[in-house]
Structure 1
Amino acid sequence: MKIKISYSEDWELAGVIRLLSPKLKDYKVSRNKDGRYKKAYVELEIKFGEVREDE
């Protein structure tokens, strides 16, 4: 699964990466710094039909 994250401060991305870290496969920060928000692309290792532990 791939998702795009928009953020304005580096600490915001760090917090999201920390929350997603159990399933995080890879992430890449966009080099394009133009615009109001910065972007990062995250790839998660999630299989369909997987049951979460907290459910």
Structure 2
Amino acid sequence: MVEWGNHWARGLPLRSKNMAAVAGLFSHIGEMQVVHHFWGESASDLFHLPFDGKLQ
């Protein structure tokens, strides 16, 4: 867990230049030591994405 925290802390400045940190989740349910990171783009970028109703 400490190693994950160190990597997360070092990666924040690099990722925050283009995206905003939305969440970082650690769960005791399911596979052990799995961490999920969610990064979001600005809302204005998301509204300009084409959507045809199909999952890609």
Length-normalised TM-score, structure 1: 0.43
Larger fraction in strand:
1
Larger fraction in helix:
2
Higher relative contact order (CA 8 A, sep 6+): 1
Length-normalised TM-score, structure 2: 0.43
Q: Which has the larger radius of gyration?
A: 2
